[in-house]
Structure 1
């Protein structure tokens, strides 16, 4: 009865799906994580302690069950702004549309926890979303929310992979739900479509090659990935958009996740001069802002080179001359050289002048890369 009541209550507070699992150790996951660690495939953003990631009783000694929840987010937006030659735009992935999902899921979990503890005052409970120790996907899979796909995402039979996940460990012994049967079969489209080959094979991800990870790093982006990220400012949706299970899937059940088109597909050039205050006011409520403005600006600079936007050269010149951050100066120099080599070869004299005065070795290396673009097109 309590389980049915909890399910019914979850619908009244905006939870799209809910499932129940045992709090037994995740032993299969444990071996997989050990392998990932040995192969150096982890991003570094996740919890490093494999024991905590796989043993719920370490997080809650009284653990008997885990309640998994899922909230659907949209895959399409209305009135999508178009990029033009004069005004190119970048893109935030769908998982960063609307309000930060961590905030929204915590709100739902807090309400669910309050209801459970009202019904069972002696219950022990602890909840987490994404940044917690447990693997959201492993819990969701065990709880019957969806199956673990070759893309390493959980795919719900109803909502596809466009879902956010959270969980609650509790001392209440709920009857577990039945896991969803694997639905990938022989399909390997996501693995083949991954732009960087980060999906090593179905179900195995080299997180350090994943564009979602790369767009969040703060240092210089490796040369081999600079063209591949395209106009992505944060995250990557390729493995989701090519998935047949996501065909026609587009749910708008959560008002908080509705995108503001001008924020999730913003003009690139204004991002180069945005202040910290403006960035926080504009993007601070989005999950894609959590690393600050520097990675977003770096990615915007790289995107301008992909677009070969020569109207951005004056802005890039100013960054190269005046920005105090080496990553921004250096990336701007690389992008400047890439654009100028195709549009205005004579403008590369500016890079030669900057090379004479730049003191940071990494920035100097990026300026030299920019200068080499001129040599590549010289007859």
Structure 2
């Protein structure tokens, strides 16, 4: 079978297995990306979650010797939740970003790519493949851009004509020399809606992200949330997708092609107070199947405390006092103290002062001082 015929059969097969979009790219070095990554490193804009060296992330043949082509796939996910539960005064809720609704996309895309790899190897005995989804060395977005899946938007997301930027991406490197697709032209033009809407200035300029200021990244960290970002988070407990929500290409997009990506309302918008006392076992049973669980419960509990402070939820004061007093983790105790101060009731301030007398961790004591500082703050 010649490669052109196989190429078309792969496209047809991809539709059979539920791939929304597929493209083909050369496995040449990503030279311009290499320069950008080096610059990001110099500026300290990387998140630290990136895998591999700059060379491994931009030279496909380091990952698969004799690499000739890369297949890029996209699966669309919903932007709207059916029957979304409402947050009430007695039961405030947090929210996971859209990319963490439904089953962990890494697993779903990996299964699709494994089927494509098996299909290629079945039709070409000497074919070799290597696949990856998000956590691999290659940039999913750079591959998708080269493969014509979409163009790279100013919000640093791949924007497809059909599904906007609400797509998951994955790729498969192979030694089979397929004819590549043509990249799409940039479609952002003079629009700056995403840059204007970014609450922290993480989008330094169109297409350039300082991950250290990006709330989507910061919600996944395990240390104390830096002070300047706490008021910006609202009720997000994992991820942040305002830069996608304001994009004109996403305005009318809401795709429900994959049942596994449908959000479970009570998981995607969980009640905040129960998050504070959830056990490891309960956390795994309830959230273990979604992408937002990968860092464990600690960051989500910290973010839940910040969200309760954002709401100034007086019904949560007793729960938060228990956390501040009894939790063995300094980040959680300290964040509880700060958020209690943000809520600002007499009971909350009294509890902080009492706990402060017994606290020995310097970082927690500093957070307690910040919490008590709200007692005299006119903006609290």
Q: Give TM-score, length-normalised by structure 1.
A: 0.98
CA contact (8 A) 1:142 1:179 kept: yes
Deviations 1:142-171 (A, max 9, x none): 000000000000000101100000000000
Residue deviations 1:73-116 (CA, integer Å, cap 9, x gap): 01011101111111110000000000000000000000010011
Q: Where do 4+ consecutive residues of structure 1 move more than 2 Å?
A: 344-347, 375-378
**1:98 and 2:97 matched:** no
Give the one of 107, 132, 139 matched to 2:143.
139
State the partner residue of 2:87.
83
1:172 matched to 2:172? The reply is no
Question: Is 2:356 aligned against 1:352?
Answer: no
Name the structure 2 match of 1:201: 205
How far, CA to CA, are the matches of 2:181 and 2:207 in structure 1?
23
Tell me the SS of whatever aligns to 1:227: helix
Q: Distance in 1 between matches of 2:351 and 2:174?
A: 63
Q: CA deviation at 1:346?
A: 5.0
**1:297 counterpart = 2:301:** yes
Match in the other structure for 2:274: 270
C-alpha distance after superposition, 1:20-64 (max 9, x if no partner): 000000000000111111000000001240000000010011100
SS at match of 1:252: coil
1:238 equivalent in alignment to 2:242: yes
How many pairs were matched up?
375
Distance 1:364 1:81 in 2: 37
Corresponding position of 2:187: 183
Give 1:356 shift: 1.1
The answer for the alignment partner of 2:167 in structure 1 is 163
In structure 1, runs of 5+ residues without a counterpart are none
Matches within 5 A, 1:325-344: 325-339=329-343, 341=344, 344=345
| Aligned match of 2:292 | 288
Deviation at 1:374, TM superposition (A): 1.1
Q: What whole-Å deviation, never above 9, does each CA across 1:341-360 have from its counterpart, x for those lacking one?
A: 2xx22541221121111000
Contact 2:29 2:58 in 1 (8 A): yes
Using the size of structure 2 for normalisation, the TM-score is 0.97
Cα distance in structure 2, aligned partners of 1:109 and 1:170? 12
Q: Which residue of the other structure, out of 125, 132, 136, is the alignment partner of 1:128?
A: 132
- 8 Å CA contact 1:62–1:124 kept in 2: the answer is no
Secondary structure of 1:144's aligned partner: coil
C-alpha contact (below 8 Å) 1:147/1:154 kept by paired residues: yes
1:10 matched to 2:11: no
Question: Are 2:311 and 1:311 equivalent residues in the alignment?
Answer: no
Aligned-pair RMSD on alpha carbons? 1.0
Q: Does 1:256 find its partner at 2:275? A: no
